[in-house]
Structures are given as structure tokens and as C-alpha cells.
Amino acid sequence: MKTLFRNATIIPMRHEAGEADVFRGSVGVVGNLIALVATSEEEVQAFCASHPNCRIIDCTGKVLMPGLINTHCHAAMTLQRSYADDIALMEWLNDYIWPFEAKQSADDIALGMTLGVVEMLLGGVTSFVDMYFHESRCVEVVERLGIRALLGCSYFDHSLEVAKADALAACERAAGCDRIRIALAPHAPYTVSREVLLASKHFAEEHHLPMMIHLSETKAELEQVAAQYGMRPVALLEELGLLNDRLIAAHCVWLNEEERATLREHGVIVSHNAQSNMKIASGAAPIAEMLAEGLCVTLATDGPCSNNDLDLWEEMRSAAFLQKLSHENPLVLPAREVLRMATANGARAMGFAEGELGVVQQGAVADLIVVDLNKPHLQPIHDVVSNLVYCGKASDVEWVMVDGRMVVEERRIPGLDLAALYREVGEAANRIKKQVAER
Ligand SMILES: [Zn+2]
């Protein structure tokens, strides 16, 4: 597989000081790696000469940039999208979400995951971190659609054994696919006991699995953990030895300065979910502080029930606006920083070192997207990064490449019958809803 993206406006997302953050050029991909980042016609000609059959994509008037990385979601929950909105949290969980989940089969989850992955791919998401059940059943979905994934096998206090079996089965099924990694995903410090969290850590260490958890999401969680253990959630996880650079902590809304320092010292990766935090009224996470203090902060949508989509463009905009509002300061979380959260920082959550993923540079993994700027909401272009972060839409994404393979071509997923997928998803959602009503 050889591809040349010609005449693009390139946003490389590299860290090097003094380097242009946007430039015109061409990018060549050989196998699954970026082999060429060129600004001169001579370099392009030399690449074409040494790769005579390469596919050429003309990117005139278009942006080429790293694919977006969604570091926390429950993709299969697309089946429950807008099923129960504007309801208080515990009523929402007890009366709607959990009864619905109880009626879902592994096949239903794979179907919901399919819709979620399709939505993400068409919106320029090339990697996602998932946290749900029956992940071993979803390995095939990820493999087939060509996205990159870290699949977290989730559980509550009573279901660690089920999750362990799911994780081992998922590891086995994903063994031949470099794009898929498996993780262990205890739901949260208030829903999984100290003993089970400790057992989780041992299992993760034994099988070299990274972990993910919802952490300090709401004030109610702080109160519950304080009542149970007389401490705050971060202190609990630190005491249990769960904090490390292979842990993704989703939300982190209610962190004080000391807790932020603790997460930074342990290298924990923070996943910020601005829209979910707003919709569930959890609060505004101290993201500007975390970034200033040197934490690795990434961006995510959370599940389609608390968002209600898997659109990382909206998420970038919302994250920036929420920080500005909560700090009463328009200077915090500028466009470039939020774009870094959604790309280069996100790569860390996927287990890649700096420069290996989430950037346009020679030698990096070729997860790339082409965004069409010929849209009324993206013109004129005073600042292309601002236009993308503050005006960009998922539907502006035209081409998506993951691991050197083109998975979206001119806004279509080759070989996918979308109408059939919508029909199947509608039927499954209605069947489950009926079963819940009859219970
Ligand atoms: Zn979540």
C-alpha cells in the first residue's frame, strides 16, 4: 500500500519549537508508516519515481492532519441514543440504562458498536478507547471496519470474573491485529470495591493490560467514597497502587491541586469529556490547570447517552468553550491546545510514545484524515486551526486512513450498506425497548 497526499494544507501537530504549525506540502505513506513529508516538488517527484504505483489523492483546498483520538466512550451505547434524556442521574441509570443493558445480547452490543465505529470513522476519528461489556465480541467489528481501538472490558463489583474471561478472549481474538489492544476497565471507585480493585490490578499486571476507570466525575462520587473509606477517590486509587502511566482516568472533574499533582507524578492519562460533564451537570473539570501543570490531558465524547453523539469536533469546541466560561477568561484552552488534546496527547492513551502516532511526521504511524475546507462555515481562512476547532464538523472529513489503509473514501466506507445498518439498529433498539417495557 502506497499513497501520496498532494498539495495539502498540513497540520503536523509536532512539538518542535519554531516549526511552522501549518504548511503547504505533500505526504507519502508506505505500508502503515508516513514515509515522506515534503514541501518541495523535487521530493515529491523522487517519491513518485521510487513508488511508481502509488495512489495519488489531490488535497488542493483541503487539510491533511492526524486522525482524531477519542479516549473514552461506550460506543455500543448508540443503541440507547436519546432513549432517556433530561432525567436525574440515578433515575436514568436505574429505570432506563441498566434495564436496557440487561436485555442486550452480545450481538446487540456488536451491532451498536458497528454504528458507533461507523459514526466515528466518518467523523475523522481514527482511534478510540472503549469501555463496555462483550468487548471480545466487538474485536471482529473493529478488525472489519479498520479503526484503531483500545477495548476496555468493563465491570461492576460483582462481575470481575466475567470481565477477566472477556479480556482473555478478546486478547486471543485480537492477537493477529496490531490495531487492537485490550484493557481492564473497572467502572468507578464507588461501584467497584477496594478488594475487587486490588484484584483487578493484579490481573492487569499479570496479563500486561492497561487499565481505565471513571474517576472523580461527580460530587456525589466524592461523598460516597468518603462515606465508604474516609478518603477521596484519587487517594483510594493511589493507596491501592492503581495510579500509573497505563491508566486512563475519565472525567477528573473534581480534582484539587494535590490530586492533580498525584496524577501527574504517576503519569496518569486524563480523559476530558466536556459535553458529558455539561449534560449530566457534573461540573467543569480544571483542564487549563492540568495542562499548565504538565498532565497529559486527552479528549473524549463519553457514551452516546450522555452526549449524545461520538463527534470529536463538537467536543473540541465544547471543551474550549467550557474552560473559557468556567474560568471567565477567553485566553484559556486555545484552539491549538485543544487540537493537541484530540491528536498527539490522545496517542499516549493508545499506548504510543510521543511522535509515533497523532502527528504528521516521517516514521509515524499513518493515521491521517483529509478535511475539505470548501464549505461555507470554513471560509474565509484567517487561521485554519481556529476554523477547524471552532467551526469544523464531522461531515467535513473526506478521507480517513488508519494504519496506512484508506477506510473512508470521499465520505463513504467502501463496502458498507448504511441503509441496512440503520434498519438493523432500529429493529434491535425497538425490540430491546419493548422487552424492557414488558418486564
Ligand atoms: Zn463513561
pLDDT of 237-286, one tens digit each? 999 999 999 999 999 999 999 999 999 999 999 999 999 999 999 999 99
Burial class of residue 145 (count of CB atoms within 10 Å of its CB; 0-12, 13-18, 19+): buried
**Distance (Å) from CA 277 to ligand 1 centroid:** 10
**Distance (Å) from CA 265 to ligand 1 centroid:** 24
Mean local confidence (pLDDT), 94-111: 94
Q: Is the domain of 309 the same as that of 183?
A: yes
**Distance (Å) from CA 131 to ligand 1 centroid:** 7
Q: Is the domain of 62 the same as that of 74?
A: no
Q: Is the domain of 264 the same as that of 332?
A: yes
| Domain endpoint, select from 349, 374, 390 | 349
**Distance (Å) from CA 184 to ligand 1 centroid:** 14
Q: Is the domain of 14 the same as that of 30?
A: yes
Does 417 map to a domain?
Answer: no
- Can you tell me which residue has the cell 443493558? 101
Burial class of residue 351 (count of CB atoms within 10 Å of its CB; 0-12, 13-18, 19+): middle
Q: Is the domain of 269 the same as that of 176?
A: yes
Strands 23-30 and 33-38: antiparallel
**Distance (Å) from CA 16 to ligand 1 centroid:** 33
**Distance (Å) from CA 250 to ligand 1 centroid:** 7
Mean local confidence (pLDDT), 62-89: 95
Q: Please give the distance of CA 370 from its chain centroid, rounded to a whole number.
A: 18
**Distance (Å) from CA 280 to ligand 1 centroid:** 11
**Distance (Å) from CA 236 to ligand 1 centroid:** 20
Query: The CATH number of the domain where 21 resides is what?
Result: 2.30.40.10
Residue 319: predicted pLDDT = 98
Mean local confidence (pLDDT), 323-337: 97
**Distance (Å) from CA 14 to ligand 1 centroid:** 29
**Distance (Å) from CA 368 to ligand 1 centroid:** 26
Does 111 map to a domain?
Answer: yes
Report the interhelical angle of 384-391 vs 335-342 (nearest 10°).
70
pLDDT interval class at 93 (50, 70, 90): confident
Does 127 map to a domain?
Answer: yes
**Distance (Å) from CA 429 to ligand 1 centroid:** 20
Mean local confidence (pLDDT), 87-96: 86
pLDDT interval class at 163 (50, 70, 90): very high
Residues facing residue 182 across a β-bridge: 151
**Distance (Å) from CA 213 to ligand 1 centroid:** 8
- Does 140 score more than 70 pLDDT? yes
Residue 17: predicted pLDDT = 61
**Distance (Å) from CA 49 to ligand 1 centroid:** 48
Q: Is the domain of 78 the same as that of 121?
A: yes
Q: Is the domain of 162 the same as that of 194?
A: yes
**Distance (Å) from CA 305 to ligand 1 centroid:** 10
Residue 90: predicted pLDDT = 79
Q: Is the domain of 317 the same as that of 239?
A: yes
**Distance (Å) from CA 106 to ligand 1 centroid:** 19
Q: Is the domain of 399 the same as that of 333?
A: no
Does 428 map to a domain?
Answer: no
Q: What is the domain range of residue 121? A: 68-349
Does 98 map to a domain?
Answer: yes
pLDDT interval class at 168 (50, 70, 90): very high
Does 430 map to a domain?
Answer: no
Judge contact between 190 and 254, C-beta under 8 A: no
Q: Is the domain of 375 the same as that of 326?
A: no
Mean local confidence (pLDDT), 332-360: 97
Mean local confidence (pLDDT), 287-308: 96
Query: The CATH number of the domain where 135 resides is what?
Result: 3.20.20.140
pLDDT interval class at 75 (50, 70, 90): very high
Residue 18: predicted pLDDT = 66
pLDDT interval class at 20 (50, 70, 90): confident
**Distance (Å) from CA 73 to ligand 1 centroid:** 6
Name every residue whose Cβ is closer than 8 Å to that of residue 353 and which is 6 or more positions away in sequence: none
Domain count, the chain: 2
**Distance (Å) from CA 306 to ligand 1 centroid:** 8
Q: What is the pLDDT of residues 403-428, one digit of tens each?
A: 999 999 999 999 999 999 999 999 99
Mean local confidence (pLDDT), 332-341: 96
**Distance (Å) from CA 202 to ligand 1 centroid:** 23
Listing from the earlier edge strand, what are the strands of the sheet with 180-186?
Answer: 68-73, 125-132, 148-155, 180-186, 211-215, 247-251, 269-272, 296-299
- Does 19 score more than 80 pLDDT? no
Does 273 map to a domain?
Answer: yes
Q: Is the domain of 6 the same as that of 60?
A: yes
- Does 15 score more than 80 pLDDT? no
Q: Report how far apart, in Å, the C-alpha atoms of 105 and of each of 8, 128, 234, 369, 435 are.
A: 45, 22, 34, 34, 12
pLDDT interval class at 89 (50, 70, 90): confident
Q: Is the domain of 161 the same as that of 56?
A: no
Does 436 map to a domain?
Answer: no
